[in-house]
């Protein structure tokens, strides 16, 4: 299968842009948030776009990563890079524990994954676990605070995630995942090991969220369980992906650029107006453009990276 | 303590039956997931709040008005979105996303209109002094809420089993294609079921300030998880199974709050996951797994 | 039974229950390379269930399914596909958002096990007259084309045993004739075929031998010509729903 050059060029361009921007634009936190959602949307795209499982509880892996990082630093005095590995491991372990959820079909999976993320949040924020997690009182990791370095690590994770999506879009493995999404029985008869393949996609997707959660904890250094497990993070990643168009590289990028751009323009001061806008957008999208913005092009036969 | 927990569990079980019933009716008839269910419930609660504080209306009057208004809203809403959704290849999945968008719209509009503060209605509106039952003192507002829930559930039962339209509704639940083939006006039957579904959410909302303490525009998602736990336990698509689900949910919630209160908020989530994984067809049966 | 141990496929006393209903009630038959066996019988007699059990859609509740002398009952579908068993579906479910070429590419890449020559996909698509549609999304095909694509997906794995479930339904007479020739050609190349079909003309044209099923077990084995004179078969077909 030949690599579509557009994919690689687009991915590289966005990575280069986000790497250069801090030297010309001073609001690093805003840039970090963009990197975070660019990565999370693609991480969700790996699962939703390629296998059709919509994880409403995607934030659970993000939160697990953030708390994996925090606990490693707070309780074991780990340095930031080892703590990032713990963050990744925490998300992957959570994904392994939650693997039975993959037996559920569409709607049930979406809701059960949300319930699972909520359950993890309720455990971590429980005052009874204050010794380990600091419960609802939040964590402070100022000892490892390194905004510049953590920003570039985040860009690195983003680059890796983009590469993963480009590979899925250009590999047999990615095709096989899409076959599973379309029909599990036909996919099985085509020789695709349905259970094994979708497990791999699930773990990869969780890994991305865990790494982003870890680097979020590192960059922001003071946070609460409500921040790390904010369902709004799942919602944003989902909406951005759907808005632009899943299974493509362009779609989630467009979704973040447009919607998160609008959010930062008006959403922070009057979040309810932003909520009203994206609620309306979602309804309109499902009714008129169920495959996202990019389908305006793809249904005219134009290839989109 | 045990009797008190079980008794209040039964009372809340009846109430949570009402919370889940509309969602289950809509799913059973249309095979779509109304993720805005919790937000319709929230709207019902706000309607009751304003009806009481502006006009001094009794919640029962508010409930009747909410039911009528919501059914009337539900009919055009059905025709606007559902038939279009059902043409799609994966209507169930798309319905989740669409109604999620609608939920966001409702929550945002309510926040814009009324702000984020918690709203409540004094419990004495539904009777003063506790009700004594089996030697247990229960707030009369709870008993009132449970009684209304029981009446609403009975009403749905009578509708489904004693009226012509209800029988047609059950036919659509069993097989939409067969119903179409036999000439049933599936859209009319479904639209009415949809209206009743959100009407039931509205009634549950009217009593939410009493049963849940207070409401904000943001309670929708939380209500949805509870409603899902109830109907998944009691079998998706089987409205009467909801009673079983509601009671299992209510009693276990109250037992948790009595004996393990700091972990009680985990219950709806764990119950939902546990039942989905062990008996995904619900306690009364229907397959939802794949592969 | 001159070649009992060497049969490519042996179905022995297979039982499949759904709740209290025995969809298969001890059915037995065998099939050899290059042979086309027809499965006929009234609706609900267990023909499709039989294909579903052999292809791994669900495990048998009793009896044995042997492929190349080894038991395969309960094996997952993708393993069976790699071993050389494949099938078509009565209502095909191709990967609708993928192109025709991608549909067969997946099957060739993953379903083609060791020890079998990889099929030439271009030639395969051409032989099924799908070459002109190769870059179209499968969802854009009409239902007859989707059925052909389903067959292409199965053939892309180079199966030794092909289970064909109601492939002829919906084809016009000319297409039927061509499809029959294709299946005979596959058998001539050494493939074993198990064909479930309602159209007796098609069965007559394609099969070497038929098994007549009723109530989950075989009641007749032989050529279609002798089957039509068998009193038991006549009773089942005239007394049953339809043929």
Of C98, C112, C150, the CB nearest to A175: C98
Residue of C nearest to A180 (CA): C95
Q: Using the structure block, give the residue that is written with the tokens 């596909």.
A: C81
Q: Using the structure block, give the residue that is written with the tokens 């599990």.
A: A184
Average per-residue pLDDT for chain A? 93
The residue among C56, C70, C243 whose CA lies nearest residue C163 is C56
Residue C112 lies in a domain: yes
- Please indicate whether, in this complex, the C-beta atoms of B92 and A272 are within 8 angstroms of each other: no
Looking at beta carbons, which residues of chain A come within 8 Å of B107? 272, 275, 279
From CA A102, how far away is CA B290, in angstroms rounded? 9
Residue A59 lies in a domain: yes
pLDDT at residue C1 tops 60: no
How long a stretch of residues is chain C?
A: 243
CB-hemisphere CA count at 13 Å for A172? 14
Tell me which of A199 and B238 has the higher pLDDT. A199
> By CB neighbour count within 10 A (0-12 exposed, 13-18 middle, 19+ buried), where does B285 fall?
exposed
Residue A19 lies in a domain: no
pLDDT at residue A206 tops 60: yes
Q: Using the structure block, give the residue that is written with the tokens 């168009």.
A: A245
Q: What is the mean pLDDT of residues A232-252?
A: 92
- Which residue ranges make up each domain of chain B? 2-116+141-278
Do β-strands B131-133 and C62-67 pair in parallel, antiparallel, or remain unpaired? unpaired
- Domain count within chain A: 1
Residue of B nearest to A118 (CA): B269
Per-residue pLDDT band at C3 (split at 50, 70, 90): very low
How long a stretch of residues is chain A?
A: 305
3-state secondary structure of B196: helix
From CA B57, how far away is CA A258, in angstroms rounded? 46
3-state secondary structure of B137: strand
- Domain count within chain C: 1
Residue C80 in contact with residue C66, Cβ under 8 Å? no
- Determine which of A41-50, B269-278, C233-242 has the lowest per-residue pLDDT on average: C233-242
Per-residue pLDDT band at A46 (split at 50, 70, 90): very high
Of A118, A188, A273, the CB nearest to B225: A118
Residue C230 in contact with residue C223, Cβ under 8 Å? no
From CA B247, how far away is CA B234, in angstroms rounded? 9
Residue A284 lies in a domain: no
Residue C201 lies in a domain: no
pLDDT digits (tens, 9 = 90+) for A258-300: 999 988 888 778 888 989 988 998 899 888 888 889 988 888 8
Q: Starting at the edge strand that comes first in sequence, how are the strands of the sheet with C36-40 ordered?
A: C85-87, C161-165, C192-196, C36-40, C209-214, C217-222
pTM, full prediction: 0.89
Residue C207 lies in a domain: no
pLDDT at position C170 is 81
From CA A112, how far away is CA A101, in angstroms rounded? 7
Residue C82 lies in a domain: no
- Please indicate whether, in this complex, the C-beta atoms of A112 and B84 are within 8 angstroms of each other: no
Looking at beta carbons, which residues of chain B come within 8 Å of A122? 263, 265-266, 269
Residue C61 lies in a domain: no
* Tokens (6 digits) for A136: 């609802």
Distance separating the N- and C-terminal Cα atoms of chain C: 30
Q: Tell me, what DSSP letter sits at residue A258?
A: I
- Its domain, for residue A66, covers 5-9+26-230
Question: Positive or negative CA dihedral for C216, C222, C224, C230?
Answer: negative
pLDDT at residue B135 tops 90: no
Q: Using the structure block, give the residue that is written with the tokens 């510049």.
A: A148
Number of H helices and number of E strands within chain B? Answer: 11, 2
Per-residue pLDDT band at B238 (split at 50, 70, 90): confident
* Tokens (6 digits) for A79: 């340095």
DSSP H helices, A52-98, are 59-76, 80-97
Question: Which residues have CB under 8 Å from A138's CB, separation 6+?
Answer: A222, A223, A224, A225, A227
Q: Is C119 on the interface with A (CB under 8 A)?
A: no
Q: Using the structure block, give the residue that is written with the tokens 């038959």.
A: C29
pLDDT at position B280 is 61
pLDDT at position C237 is 79
Looking at beta carbons, which residues of chain A come within 8 Å of B81? 283, 287
Residue C14 in contact with residue C26, Cβ under 8 Å? yes
Residue C209 lies in a domain: no
- Reported in sequence order, the residue ranges of chain C that DSSP labels E, i.e. its strands, are 9-18, 21-31, 36-40, 62-67, 70-71, 85-87, 161-165, 192-196, 209-214, 217-222
pLDDT at residue C5 tops 80: no
Per-residue pLDDT band at B281 (split at 50, 70, 90): low
Q: What is the mean pLDDT of residues B210-226?
A: 90
Which residues sit opposite C217 in a β-bridge?
Answer: C214
Looking at beta carbons, which residues of chain A come within 8 Å of C163? none
* Tokens (6 digits) for A265: 């323009």
> By CB neighbour count within 10 A (0-12 exposed, 13-18 middle, 19+ buried), where does B229 fall?
buried
Residue B127 in contact with residue B147, Cβ under 8 Å? no
Per-residue pLDDT band at B123 (split at 50, 70, 90): confident
Average per-residue pLDDT for chain C? 90
pLDDT digits (tens, 9 = 90+) for C16-67: 998 778 899 999 999 999 999 999 998 889 999 999 999 999 899 999 999 9
From CA A78, how far away is CA B193, in angstroms rounded? 58
- Other C-beta atoms lying within 10 Å of the C-beta of residue A172: 16
Q: What is the ipTM of this complex?
A: 0.90
Q: What CATH number does domain B2-116+141-278 carry, 3.30.160, 1.10.3470, 1.10.287, 1.10.1510?
A: 1.10.3470
pLDDT at position B160 is 92
Question: Which residues have CB under 8 Å from C110's CB, separation 6+?
Answer: A172, A176, A190, A191, A192, A193, C78, C81, C82
pLDDT at position A237 is 95
Residue A121 in contact with residue A107, Cβ under 8 Å? no
How long a stretch of residues is chain B?
A: 291
pLDDT digits (tens, 9 = 90+) for A12-35: 999 999 999 999 998 999 999 999
Q: What is the mean pLDDT of residues B241-257?
A: 89
Q: At A222, which helix (H) or strand (E)?
A: strand A222-223
DSSP H helices, B87-163, are 91-114, 140-162
> By CB neighbour count within 10 A (0-12 exposed, 13-18 middle, 19+ buried), where does C44 fall?
middle
pLDDT digits (tens, 9 = 90+) for B163-172: 999 999 999 9
- Please indicate whether, in this complex, the C-beta atoms of A279 and B104 are within 8 angstroms of each other: yes
Which residues sit opposite A135 in a β-bridge?
Answer: none
pLDDT digits (tens, 9 = 90+) for C59-90: 999 999 999 999 999 899 999 999 999 999 99
pLDDT digits (tens, 9 = 90+) for B6-41: 999 999 999 999 999 999 999 989 988 899 999 999
Per-residue pLDDT band at A1 (split at 50, 70, 90): very low
Do β-strands C161-165 and C192-196 pair in parallel, antiparallel, or remain unpaired? parallel
Q: Per CB distance under 8 Å, which residues of A are interface residues toward B?
A: 52, 54, 100-101, 103-108, 110-112, 114-116, 118-119, 122-123, 126-128, 184, 188, 194-195, 231, 235, 242, 272-276, 278-283, 285-287, 290
Question: Which residues have CB under 8 Å from C73's CB, separation 6+?
Answer: C14, C53, C59, C60, C63, C64, C65
- Please indicate whether, in this complex, the C-beta atoms of C98 and A187 are within 8 angstroms of each other: no
């Amino acid at each position: 299968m030949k690599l579509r050059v557009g994919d690689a060029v687009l991915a590289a361009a966005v990575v280069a842009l986000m790497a250069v921007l801090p030297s010309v634009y001073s609001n690093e936190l805003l840039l970090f948030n963009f990197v975070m959602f660019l990565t999370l949307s693609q991480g969700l795209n790996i699962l939703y776009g390629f296998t059709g499982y919509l994880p409403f509880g995607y934030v659970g892996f993000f939160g697990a990563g953030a708390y994996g990082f925090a606990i490693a630093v707070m309780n074991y005095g780990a340095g930031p890079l080892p703590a990032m590995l713990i963050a990744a491991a925490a998300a992957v372990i959570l994904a392994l524990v939650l693997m039975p959820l993959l037996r559920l079909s569409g709607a049930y999976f979406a809701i059960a994954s949300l319930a699972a993320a909520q359950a993890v949040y309720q455990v971590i924020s429980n005052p009874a676990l204050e010794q380990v997690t600091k419960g609802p009182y939040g964590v402070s990791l100022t000892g490892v605070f390194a905004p510049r370095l953590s920003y570039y690590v985040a860009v690195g994770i983003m680059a890796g995630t983009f590469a993963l999506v480009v590979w899925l879009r250009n590999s047999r493995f990615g095709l096989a995942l899409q076959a599973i999404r379309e029909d599990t029985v036909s996919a099985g008869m085509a020789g695709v090991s349905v259970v094994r393949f979708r497990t791999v996609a699930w773990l990869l997707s969780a890994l991305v969220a865990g790494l982003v959660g870890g680097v979020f904890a590192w960059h922001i250094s003071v946070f609460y369980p409500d921040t790390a497990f904010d369902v709004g993070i799942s919602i944003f990643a989902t909406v951005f992906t759907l808005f632009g168009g899943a299974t493509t590289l362009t779609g989630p990028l467009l979704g973040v650029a447009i919607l998160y751009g609008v959010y930062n323009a008006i959403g922070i001061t009057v979040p309810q107006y932003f909520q009203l806008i994206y609620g309306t957008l979602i309804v309109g999208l499902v009714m008129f453009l169920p495959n996202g913005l990019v389908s305006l092009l793809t249904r005219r036969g134009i290839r989109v990276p | 303590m045990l009797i008190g927990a079980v008794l209040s569990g039964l009372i809340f079980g009846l109430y949570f039956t009402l919370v889940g019933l509309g969602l289950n009716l809509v799913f059973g008839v249309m095979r779509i997931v109304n993720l805005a269910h919790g937000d319709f419930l929230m709207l019902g609660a706000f309607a009751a709040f304003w009806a009481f504080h502006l006009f001094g209306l009794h919640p029962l009057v508010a409930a009747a008005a909410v039911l009528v208004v919501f059914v009337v809203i539900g009919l055009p809403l059905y025709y606007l979105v559902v038939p279009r959704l059902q043409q799609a290849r994966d209507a169930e999945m798309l319905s989740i996303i669409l109604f999620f968008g609608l939920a966001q719209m409702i929550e945002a509009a309510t926040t814009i209109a009324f702000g984020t503060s918690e709203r409540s209605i004094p419990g004495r509106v539904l009777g003063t002094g506790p009700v004594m039952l089996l030697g247990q003192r229960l707030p009369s507002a709870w008993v009132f809420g449970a009684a209304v829930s029981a009446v609403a559930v009975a009403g749905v039962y009578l509708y489904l089993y004693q009226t012509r339209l209800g029988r047609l509704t059950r036919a659509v639940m069993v097989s939409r294609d067969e119903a179409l083939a036999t000439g049933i006006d599936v859209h009319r039957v479904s639209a009415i079921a949809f209206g009743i579904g959100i009407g039931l959410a509205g009634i549950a909302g009217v009593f939410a300030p009493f049963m849940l303490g207070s409401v904000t525009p943001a309670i929708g998602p939380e209500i949805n998880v509870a409603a899902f736990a109830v109907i998944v336990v009691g079998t998706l698509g089987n409205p009467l199974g909801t009673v079983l689900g509601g009671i299992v949910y209510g009693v276990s919630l109250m037992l948790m709050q009595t004996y393990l209160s700091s972990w009680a908020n985990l219950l709806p989530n764990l119950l939902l996951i546990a039942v989905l994984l062990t008996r995904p067809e619900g306690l009364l049966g229907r397959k939802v797994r794949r592969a | 039974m001159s070649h009992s141990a060497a049969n490519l496929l042996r179905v022995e006393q297979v039982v499949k229950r759904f709740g209290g209903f025995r969809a298969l009630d001890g059915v037995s038959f065998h099939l050899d390379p290059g042979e086309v066996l027809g499965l006929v019988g009234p609706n609900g007699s267990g023909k499709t269930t039989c294909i579903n059990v052999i292809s791994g859609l669900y495990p048998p509740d009793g009896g044995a399914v042997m492929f190349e002398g080894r038991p395969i009952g309960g094996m997952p579908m993708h393993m069976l596909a790699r071993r050389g068993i494949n099938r078509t579906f009565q209502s095909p479910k191709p990967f609708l958002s993928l192109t025709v070429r991608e549909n067969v590419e997946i099957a060739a890449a993953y379903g083609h096990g060791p020890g079998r020559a990889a099929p030439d996909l271009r030639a395969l698509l051409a032989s099924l007259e799908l070459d002109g549609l190769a870059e179209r999304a499968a969802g854009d095909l009409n239902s007859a084309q989707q059925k052909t694509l389903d067959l292409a997906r199965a053939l892309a794995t180079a199966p030794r045993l092909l289970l064909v479930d109601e492939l002829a339904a919906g084809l016009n007479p000319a297409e039927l004739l061509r499809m029959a020739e294709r299946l005979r050609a596959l058998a001539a190349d050494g493939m074993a075929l198990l064909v479930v079909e309602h159209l007796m003309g098609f069965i007559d044209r394609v099969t070497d031998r038929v098994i007549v099923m009723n109530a989950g077990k075989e009641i007749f084995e032989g050529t279609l010509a002798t089957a039509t004179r068998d009193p038991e078969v006549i009773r089942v077909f005239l007394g049953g729903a339809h043929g």
